[in-house]
A and B are shown apart, each in its own frame.
Chain A
Amino acid sequence: MIYNELTRRYFESPTHVGELSGAGVFSGEAGSRDQGVWVRFDLQAGTGTLLTARFLAFGCPHTIAIASWLASLAAGKPLDAALPESISDLRARFALPVEKMGRLLVIEDAWLAAATAAIDYRHCAPTSEGPLSSVNQD
């Protein structure tokens, strides 16, 4: 298996590994270790934007590298139900073979689970910041 330079870099020295705790942290996970790919994201949300993210991953080098890359992009991104970078851009950036597309979808599922939890929470729970009309501003 040949990995491109970015995949190798984020596989060998991934950033944003771990978990978050405290206020405004939402988790999402997808896949299973038995199936060979499992990803978890912890997103910390501020007012309408993401403050930071952490990931954990059991999977191939591509899975680890892409999860790390996405977590590194989180800070300052709007809190919405989408990856910080599109599936097709990620696929090209990491030269992901077509056979591994399923793994990218697991990564997306984990991210969306965390992001959706954050969005739902903002909608349902009024805070001192008042109504969160900005949450879904696109």
Chain B
Amino acid sequence: MNPAAFPVYLDYASTTPVDAGVAARMAEILLSQKEFGNPASVSHDYGDVANALVEEAREQVAAAVGSTAAQVIWTSGATEANNLALFGTVQYYRERGRHIITARTEHKAVLDPCRELERRGWAVTYLKPDGEGLLDPAQLAGALRKDTVLVSIMHVNNEIGVVQDIGAISSICRPHGAWLHVDAAQSVGKCPVDFANLGIDLMSLSAHKAYGPKGVGALVVSPRVHLSPLQFGGGQERAFRAGTVATHQVVGMGLAFKLASSMSSTETARIAQLQRRLWEGLTRIGGVLRNGSVAHAVPHLLNVSFDGVEGESLLAAVRPHLAVSTGSACTSSLAEPSYVLRALGRSDRLSEASLRFGLGRPTREGDIDAAVAIVSREVVRLRQIAGGYPKGWGAKLSNVPSAAPGRTAAP
């Protein structure tokens, strides 16, 4: 790749760059001769200094997600938090029952642990969302069994940005006595998160989706829930998660979450405008379909299928100019359509020929216009090679201006 022409980055749902202020503070701690102590050391001031930093970060994370600091357990990321939540609870409550409920559109970090639990003898029900990606709470109510111990439903979907009604889901789980785990890795900074008021029992968080560092996350655990730990050796994090806490990492997460929640509402309004501009630009291509609910979604994600083009070619064509995710996971050299889009009822062809645009803090109008120009040009080109869309549209499409009229022409 030519570094002079680094592609436009619109994949902020995958990861975000670390905020400069956050990175500076993390570097300061790494370079400090006073802040390097083991936060678990109680026998000297070095430990106390580090411990104070860790506890301040815990307060910051708790404040951003509506929990108390004591409920926050540091992990290496949302994947570990999901694993701890799932394996930890069902292991502890295995005598109460062995049934779990989740959804087909969950992240792999929930689905893969569920598959493993099925191999170990638990039963798992996978709820099917509607065509917009939304779960019907009534369907959940119908799926609950006497032996259901855990319900795991994500807050903001990582592929389509759809926001599930966690309040409604929790009000069904509570009276039944099933714990509710919520994967909120995508949520912070994109929409309000309120652990206590939504009635969540366990919640997974990630730092690097919110301009914090990779390698750190948290599981928020209500005091009513018990967990069997997955790793042993030191009793840190209320013995739920042994291992020395990485001071600079959790400080980075705390600062990033504080920043994200302070700028959430203005930033979300700005992103919503950019997302509208992106969608309006893409609709001018014709034959584009939006995946997922429009009303119940965060604006930071836009998932679009392009009819009349093949998925692998679509990605290969835009890839030199635009960093986005695609609806086809290339597990081998043959593409596999997105299971999330398939769960919404999209055909394999349309699931493959989709792009996920993730908008973020550094995104500006110029990035959106460039993305629209690149995608328009390549979709039109591929449709022409395929004989037009539908047949005869090729000529008409080539007359569509690649950038919106009256706006700055994008490269």
- Name A residues whose Cβ lies closer than 8 Å to a Cβ of B: 1, 3, 11-12, 14, 17, 19, 33-34, 36-38, 40, 56-61, 63-64, 97, 99-100
Contacts and interface: CB of A to CB of B under 8 A. Distances in A.
Nearest to B388: A56
B4 interface: no
A11 B316 contact: yes
Chain B CB within 10 A, most for which of A1, A99, A100: A1
B312 interface: yes
B312 A1 contact: yes
Given A1-B312, A36-B310, A36-B349, A99 B333 contact: yes
Contacts of A97: 332-333
Nearest to A37: B310
B376 interface: no
A35 to B, nearest CB: 9
A110 B288 CA distance: 29
A19 B312 CA distance: 24
Interface stretch (B123-131, B194-202, B230-238, B379-387): B379-387
B333 A11 contact: no
B41 interface: no
A99 B332 contact: yes
A17 B384 contact: yes
Nearest to A29: B387
Contacts of A57: 385-386
A61 B385 contact: no
A21 B334 CA distance: 35
B352 interface: yes
B386 A99 contact: no
B316 A3 contact: yes
Contacts of A58: 308-310, 385-387
Interface residues of B, number: 19
Contacts of A11: 313, 316-317
B310 A1 contact: no
Given A58-B386, A64-B385, A97-B333, A34 B349 contact: yes
Interface of B: 308-310, 312-313, 316-317, 330, 332-335, 348-349, 352, 384-387
B385 A1 contact: no
Contacts of B330: 1
B349 A99 contact: no
B334 A100 contact: yes
**Main secondary structure on chain A at its contact with chain B?**
mixed
Contact of B386 (A1, A12, A56, A100): A56
Given A57-B385, A58-B386, A64 B333 contact: no
Given A1-B330, A33-B349, A97-B333, A40 B312 contact: no
A38 to B, nearest CB: 7
Contacts of B334: 99-100
Given A58-B310, A61-B312, A14 B333 contact: no
Contacts of A3: 316
Contact of B310 (A12, A14, A40, A60): A60
17 contacts: A1-B312, A14-B385, A19-B387, A33-B349, A36-B310, A37-B310, A40-B387, A56-B386, A57-B386, A58-B386, A58-B387, A59-B310, A60-B313, A61-B312, A64-B313, A97-B333, A100-B334
Nearest to A57: B385
A62 B349 CA distance: 17
A72 to B, nearest CB: 14
A22 B335 CA distance: 39
B385 A100 contact: no
B372 to A, nearest CB: 20
B397 to A, nearest CB: 14
Contacts of A34: 349
A1 B316 contact: yes
B386 A61 contact: no
B193 to A, nearest CB: 37
Q: Which of B335, B385, B386 has the most CB of A within 10 A?
A: B385
B345 to A, nearest CB: 16
Contacts of B384: 17
A100 B313 CA distance: 14
Contacts of B348: 36
Nearest to A8: B316
Given A17-B385, A36-B349, A57-B386, A1 B313 contact: no
Contacts of A64: 313, 385
Nearest to A39: B386
Nearest to B315: A1
A116 B53 CA distance: 77
Contacts of A40: 387
A63 B385 CA distance: 11
Contacts of B387: 19, 40, 56, 58
Nearest to A35: B349
Contacts of B313: 11, 59-61, 64
Given A11-B317, A14-B385, A38-B386, 14 more contacts: A1-B330, A3-B316, A33-B349, A34-B349, A36-B348, A56-B386, A57-B385, A58-B310, A60-B316, A61-B312, A97-B332, A99-B332, A99-B334, A100-B333
